[in-house]
Amino acid sequence: MKKLSAKRSVSGTMFGRATTAAEIVRVHPVMRELRPHHADERAFVRQVLKQMREGFRLVYLENNGEIRAAAGYRIYDLLYSGRTLYVDDLVTREANRSQGFGGQIFDWLVEEAKREGCQELTLDSGVQRVDAHRFYLMKRMAITSHHFGLKINSGDQAIDTCDSPSTID
């Protein structure tokens, strides 16, 4: 586990980056709450490792030895926004919502964007995730666009592009 720069609280909160299969397995139960179609742990690990080769990063917030929240993100340059930290996945365990963990990992992502020289932090959120939208607006995010998705069947798997990060506090 790679420990990340973070403020340690009296309650034992820390941030970590999952870079090995064993660390990704630890994050799986939390991420599965947002992405239930990733029920198979081994397939999830393979997918995350594949995405990591493409620049994906997986971080988590641990408190008292348990992972309470997780985020998957990537950094890239776009014509419309410049250097951007894009949040693919952001989730707080259902049992730990409204305890500040979502806010802490979001704030960590904002600081990461600053450390990486980003001009923007962006994410997509499923239209049904009203509580998450309230959270993002409270975090001073603006609704800047509509995201459109078209399912393209590839073999026996359809990729759902519409159910993006949103299960926070």
pLDDT digits (tens, 9 = 90+) for 19-63: 999 999 999 999 999 999 999 999 999 999 999 999 999 999 999
- Determine what percent of the chain falls in helix, strand and coil, rounding each to the nearest 5: 30, 30, 40
Q: Tell me the domains of the chain and their CATH numbers.
A: 2-158 (3.40.630.30)
Please give the backbone phi and psi of residue 159, each rounded to the nearest 5 degrees, phi first.
-95, 125
| Percent of the residues in the chain that have a pLDDT greater than 70, as a whole number | 85
pLDDT digits (tens, 9 = 90+) for 80-98: 999 999 999 999 999 989 9
